[in-house]
Structure 1
Amino acid sequence: MSKILFELPPLPYYITIGRNEYIKGEQHPNRRNLGIFDWIFVVKGTLYIGEDESQWEVGPGQSLLLLPDRYHYSTAPCDEEMVFYWIHFVYEGKFSSYRDADYSMMIRHAWANPYKLRVPQYTAPRQFARIERLLEQMLAYTETTGSSAYWREQQHFMDLIHLLEEDDTGDSTTNAVMRLAERTEAYLRTNYQKELSNETLAEALHFHPNYVVRCMKEIYQCTPMEYLMRYRLEQAKLLLLKTEWSVAHVAEYVGFNYVPYFSSCFKRHTTMSPLAWRKLHAK
């Protein structure tokens, strides 16, 4: 299944929503390079639509995300009454089409919190009833103005994206690998100050150490111990800026038992010593 991957930040930005009803014989207008994303949710009938070389028959309980830089066209008129919601939104970041085999996650650190949002381009969400209720609420907000309505619209749009992303996590091998990698990351971030190894991780997560390592490498492109090292050093950066602790105290706090080794790792990571890094950023 083709999915659309958004590299966050920035976040997608909601513009507006509408609800259209077509009678038999009507069809979706043809458009080229619209400049915005058009997310369609069909509640009744079938929408026959194409995007460049791809064509779909979008039926009740299904959604389709049309991309802003493509040619959209009707492939056939409606053969019965058809009702659908549409959402327009913009996204100023990098996005692409991909399949599960191409999926990987970015590593969070002290100065950035990147995330790869993935949503199916064409799907039949299992939670469509909840999605339809959200769409109804968002449509109601178009009749109101003010800050309260604005923020509720944006929040509901984020809720909608979360529902669709969450709904897409099934029982496939890729999703199982991703879930274990995310559990491993969470465990490392929570326990980074402790003595950790692949074996202790495996014991805590109840998986073979080789499998844990494979999942981390597949999703985060690094081993658990490499991730742990990066996270400890990022925490050390924060402490060097936010406290007046000695380098030895910082090293011990983030999980290093030997200060010269900490300094060596820090310099490889930042190209400067901990003290030099503190002086540079504390001016």
Structure 2
Amino acid sequence: MSKPTELVQLTAPPLPYFLECGHTVYQPGDEHPNRRNIGIFDWIVVESGTLFIGEAVQAWSLGAGQSLLLLPDRHHYAVKPCEEPTSFYWLHFHTVCAWQQLPAEEADHRYPDADEHYGRFLASPYSLQLPKAWDLPSPDQTFRLFRQLLDSLGERQSRAFWIRQQRFEELLHAMDLRQLESHASPVVVVAEKAEAYIKNNYRSELNSGQMAGALHYHYNYITRCMKQVYGMTPNDYLLHYRLEQAKLLLLKTEWPIADIAVYIGFNSTPYFSNRFALKNGCSPRAFRKQYIVTE
């Protein structure tokens, strides 16, 4: 096992959340239980020995420093009993967002429903790409985080809750292949740079030449990348982001509508109001009125 051939892709926020973990030692003859549709993700990390495990029609021989992510809706089983003492960590987690397993070469970060996701979670979507089966790049660090998770089981719940979630998120971060340059997609890199540029400059008059010069890519290429990743052109994303900032200002300030329009980069208040209404189904004034408390 070397470079991952399959990925489990999860959308966030919200991030997956920790449920429980443990450390198990199998003796020769012991084997993984036969389970089906357990409803949660089961991540296994082998510390020593070899674990022979299958899921659906796939089978693996996991050695020291290797991991496997078992899916909630599949059949998990032992391929054969252990032949030597085998030590491994396991961790259960869950997510309420969409996920899918796919070949590594088909991985993408397209968000055709980015507006819907933003409307539900008030944040732009992010796609975690977790390797299905993997040679851990830093097994000692992974084992250390698992030991800290296990140590937290003896803590008071008010303290243990935060320790577990923090350590779990560290493990997720280390697993996310998007953090590794060797797995980074050039299309995604360009799209994310363009997104950051727009967010940092949305109040200004942005044009294609400025963006191309700042990012050092041809504007047509930037557009293709953003369209592929976010389902929006740079201009579409700029409008989307400006209107989301307008909603925040309508809720957090008493500024006049015209002042908000100017602040977020619109030269025309009627045009701002029109675009806001098209996106949100009501005028800026009506949107604000929904949240005003009257005596």
Asked if TM exceeds 0.5, the reply is yes
Q: Are 1:18 and 2:29 an aligned pair?
A: no
Gaps of 5+ in 2: none
Question: By how many angstroms is 1:168 displaced?
Answer: 5.9
Gaps of 5+ in 1: none
- Summarize the Cα distance change of 1:191–1:109 in structure 2 as closer, same or farther, 3 Å threshold: farther
Q: Are 1:49 and 2:53 an aligned pair?
A: yes
Find the aligned partners of 2:169 and 2:26 in 1 and give their Cα distance: 28
Find the aligned partners of 2:87 and 2:158 in 1 and give their Cα distance: 30
- Summarize the Cα distance change of 1:209–1:9 in structure 2 as closer, same or farther, 3 Å threshold: closer
Find the aligned partners of 1:21 and 1:168 in 2 and give their Cα distance: 31
Which residue identity lines up with residue 249 of structure 2 in the other structure?
A: L
Q: Which moved more, 1:22-31 or 1:151-160?
A: 22-31
Question: By how many angstroms is 1:254 displaced?
Answer: 0.2
Find the aligned partners of 2:164 and 2:233 in 1 and give their Cα distance: 40
Could you say which residue in structure 2 is the equivalent of 1:31?
Answer: 35
Find the aligned partners of 2:53 and 2:200 in 1 and give their Cα distance: 47
Q: Are 1:133 and 2:139 an aligned pair?
A: no
Find the aligned partners of 2:76 and 2:233 in 1 and give their Cα distance: 43
- Choose the corresponding residue for 1:219, options 226, 229, 248: 229
Could you say which residue in structure 2 is the equivalent of 1:231?
Answer: 241
Per-residue CA deviations over 1:129-174 (Å, capped at 9, x if unaligned) read 21111111112222333311221112111111111115763434x6
Which residue identity lines up with residue 270 of structure 2 in the other structure?
A: P
Pairing of 1:195-214 with structure 2 (within 5 A): 195-214=205-224
- Summarize the Cα distance change of 1:15–1:278 in structure 2 as closer, same or farther, 3 Å threshold: closer
Identity of aligned residues (%): 44
Could you say which residue in structure 2 is the equivalent of 1:190?
Answer: 200
Confirm or deny: 8 A CA contact 1:109 1:234 kept in the other structure. Answer: no
State the TM-score, normalizing by the size of structure 2: 0.87
Find the aligned partners of 1:143 and 1:109 in 2 and give their Cα distance: 38
Please give the secondary structure, in 1, of the residue aligned with 2:277.
helix
Could you say which residue in structure 2 is the equivalent of 1:86?
Answer: 90
Pairing of 1:90-105 with structure 2 (within 5 A): 90-99=94-103, 100-105=106-111
- Choose the corresponding residue for 1:256, options 230, 241, 266: 266
Pairing of 1:268-283 with structure 2 (within 5 A): 268-283=278-293
Confirm or deny: 8 A CA contact 2:66 2:135 kept in the other structure. Answer: yes
Please give the secondary structure, in 2, of the residue aligned with 1:68.
coil
Q: Which moved more, 1:91-100 or 1:106-115?
A: 106-115
Which residue identity lines up with residue 65 of structure 1 in the other structure?
A: L
Q: Which moved more, 1:142-151 or 1:214-223?
A: 142-151
Could you say which residue in structure 1 is the equivalent of 2:132?
Answer: 121
Question: By how many angstroms is 1:74 displaced?
Answer: 0.9
Confirm or deny: 8 A CA contact 1:17 1:86 kept in the other structure. Answer: yes
Could you say which residue in structure 1 is the equivalent of 2:190?
Answer: 180
Which residue identity lines up with residue 228 of structure 2 in the other structure?
A: E
